[in-house]
Amino acid sequence: MTDGFSGIRVVVVAHGPPLRGGIATVAMDLVEDPELNACFEMVFLNTSQNEDQRGKFSLANIRRLLSDSWATFRLARRGAVVHTHSVQEPWPVAWRQVGIALAARARGASVVLHNHAAAPYMQPPGAYDPGRPNRWAFRVLDRLVAANIVLSSNGVPNMGRWFVRAELPVVGNSVVVSDVVPSSAVHDPPVVLFIGELLERKGLRTLLDALDLIDAGVDPPDYELRIVGNDQLGLDPAKDEMVREVAARGRSASMTGVVPRSEVYRHFSEADLYVLPTDYEGQPFALIEALAAGVPIVATAIPSIEGMIDDGIHGRLVQRNDTEGFATAIRELLEDPEQRRQVSAANRRRAEDRFDRHVFRDHVARLYRRHGRLRRGGRFGAGAPGRQRRRTPCRARPGPAALPSGFMDAFDAAGESPSWSATLRADLAANAGNTKGRFLVVSFRVAQRVRGRGRPPLWAAPLLVVYRVLIDWLMGVDLPPTVVAGPGLQIWHGTGLVVHANTTIGSDVILRHGTTIGARENHVGAPAPTLGDRVDVGAGALVLGPVTVGDDARIGAGSVVVRDVPAGVTVVGNPARILG
């Protein structure tokens, strides 16, 4: 079959419906996203999963590995991106990813892994040790894949022990924040909400104990408890035990059973507190949904959750199994509606800044463009399951992390001069009268063009060495060609300018001498700042870590920015604060 589409093919490999859970949710977020389908040829390979044999070395799993690898080989194309999702442990799961990666590479496709495990985000930095067979698989994958996506920066130092060549971009899970009706967080009586599996490891017993302590105290506050989750008996002995315990404590009426997603969002919109006393998590979707709904959160202070919310700003973080601590935190928030209102506003902002769908989409689209290649006048493979085709022109979303479509097309079509020339003309116009700035931006754009995406071709190495010696060593400007920068980039004076390789810069941005835009961690794939459009960075400023600087913001000379900067404001000082 043919049509006019000539974009990058992306094969998403994951288990999807009828299965549920984080991997299936993320996979469907990708293949059903209308803007990704407007930019890429999205193809979905829905893999099987045998719960009885999950993670085991068995004949059934060997057959599954061969079947999934062959299906990947059939769907991949030269220049495509195979985006494969798994927990990457235990070792049979990791070696299945090796098979899929080998099949993709055999067809000339690039491979992007997506790590959905919990362990890398729960362990202290450098402490994650998945076992020898798993490590061997990781070493092989490190040589096969272009990138391994991790859910939060907590996972970078742990996965970075085994992935020393592959990029480790941080791409969090997401929801469409505008689809979530915000809660006022001030209801009468206030609603305490728990959403999740009804299991002890999710902390449900800790929640029940904490509420019992509150009820037994002096003048206990009034509240309504809602427990949303599958309470059907006979499916899991551990779940059956917890359901019976809820009933034994006189809280049967609190259980709603399984509800559709629309009802989950309704419960969030009516909630005043979301409580998650869990023992072990990767990046829970329910917590992201609570942020999107503006519901104050009381959760366990485990590394994966500490990377998502700040204690005292988005709610309270309590040590694991600290029943009294949970009781105190819940009671204090129940008795202070004004504090709940303030936390609610902060939570909605956090969801919009970090976990909205456009943030997720922009990150993965940038990876697809970096590691995939356009196909000219190609054909779709017949019978590709889940195939979706582009019908409208690719559009870049406006905002701090998005770049104009003309600029991104220059990277999509590495051989099309008009788009690249338009970007260069915008740079030259922005640096009118600034000879040194013009030389720097022209050199930067040429280096980007030569390098291309992924690993640079062998013939490009001498030219990139010349760029490094001339611009970095002699002129004192560290501006790697991997930096993503929109048109109209201005560089004034330049000497002492340092920009991290993973930085994203919008259009019409001004950078000055002595400025550092860098990461807080010293490893490949460390999260770096995102500057929006028309940002003006003063001389000697430092912008550090995975912060987002909004459109039209101004950063004063010598300021140190370590938190997100809203659009249109001026920040000064160390640490930077909003002026006025």
Residue the block writes with tokens 């970007």: 423
Q: How far apart are CA 555 and CA 535, in angstroms?
A: 8
Given a contact cutoff of 8 angstroms between Cβ atoms, the answer to whether 103 and 137 are in contact is: no
**What's the confidence (pLDDT) of residue 85?**
95
Peptide bond into 284 cis (omega under 30): no
pLDDT tens-place string over residues 239-251: 899 999 999 999 9
pLDDT band at 266 (very low <50, low <70, confident <90, very high): very high
pLDDT band at 385 (very low <50, low <70, confident <90, very high): very low
pLDDT band at 41 (very low <50, low <70, confident <90, very high): very high
Give 353 or 456, the one with higher predicted confidence.
353
Q: How far apart are CA 197 and CA 204, in angstroms?
A: 9
Quickly count: other Cβ atoms within 10 Å of residue 541's Cβ: 24
Out of 294-298, 395-399, 476-480, 543-547, which region has the weakest mean confidence (pLDDT)? Answer: 395-399
State the average pLDDT over residues 251-266.
91
* Helix locations, 6-110, DSSP H: 22-31, 34-39, 59-75, 91-106
Bridge partner residues of 299 (DSSP):
276, 317
Give 196 or 56, the one with higher predicted confidence.
196
Bridge partner residues of 11 (DSSP):
43, 82
Quickly count: other Cβ atoms within 10 Å of residue 59's Cβ: 8
pLDDT band at 54 (very low <50, low <70, confident <90, very high): low
Give 244 or 524, the one with higher predicted confidence.
244
Percent of the chain with pLDDT over 90: 54
For the chain, first and last CA: distance in Å?
61
Phi, psi values for residue 548, rounded to 5°: -115, 125
Q: What mean pLDDT, rounded, does the chain reach?
A: 85
Instruction: Fill in the DSSP letter of residue 52.
Output: G
Given a contact cutoff of 8 angstroms between Cβ atoms, the answer to whether 462 and 519 are in contact is: no
**What's the confidence (pLDDT) of residue 456?**
64
Given a contact cutoff of 8 angstroms between Cβ atoms, the answer to whether 77 and 379 are in contact is: no
Residue 377 scores a pLDDT above 90: no
Quickly count: other Cβ atoms within 10 Å of residue 319's Cβ: 10
Q: How far apart are CA 74 and CA 80, in angstroms?
A: 12
Residue 420 scores a pLDDT above 90: no
Residue 407 scores a pLDDT above 60: no
- The answer to whether the Cα torsion of 482, 484, 489, 494 is positive or negative is negative
**What's the confidence (pLDDT) of residue 519?**
87
Instruction: Fill in the DSSP letter of residue 478.
Output: B
Local structure of 505: helix, strand or coil: strand
**What's the confidence (pLDDT) of residue 524?**
64
**What's the confidence (pLDDT) of residue 499?**
95
pLDDT band at 124 (very low <50, low <70, confident <90, very high): confident
Helix (H) or strand (E) holding 82: strand 81-86
**What's the confidence (pLDDT) of residue 58?**
76
The CA-based dihedral angle spanning residues 23, 28, 31, 35, taken in that order and rounded to the nearest 10 degrees:
-110
pLDDT band at 19 (very low <50, low <70, confident <90, very high): confident
**What's the confidence (pLDDT) of residue 4?**
40
Bridge partner residues of 97 (DSSP):
none
Given a contact cutoff of 8 angstroms between Cβ atoms, the answer to whether 380 and 80 are in contact is: no
187 in the Ramachandran plot: left (φ > 0), alpha (ψ -120 to 50) or beta?
beta
pLDDT band at 2 (very low <50, low <70, confident <90, very high): very low
Domains in the chain (CATH in brackets) are 9-172+357-371 (3.40.50.2000), 177-350 (3.40.50.2000), 405-578 (2.160.10.10)
Residue 379 scores a pLDDT above 50: no
Residue 296 scores a pLDDT above 50: yes
Out of 7-21, 118-132, 385-399, which region has the weakest mean confidence (pLDDT)? Answer: 385-399
State the average pLDDT over residues 273-294.
92
Out of 51-65, 124-138, 158-172, 363-377, which region has the weakest mean confidence (pLDDT)? Answer: 51-65
Bridge partner residues of 317 (DSSP):
299
Which pair of tokens denotes residue 326? Answer: 């949970």
Residue the block writes with tokens 């600029």: 407
**What's the confidence (pLDDT) of residue 522?**
72
Q: How far apart are CA 336 and CA 43, in angstroms?
A: 49
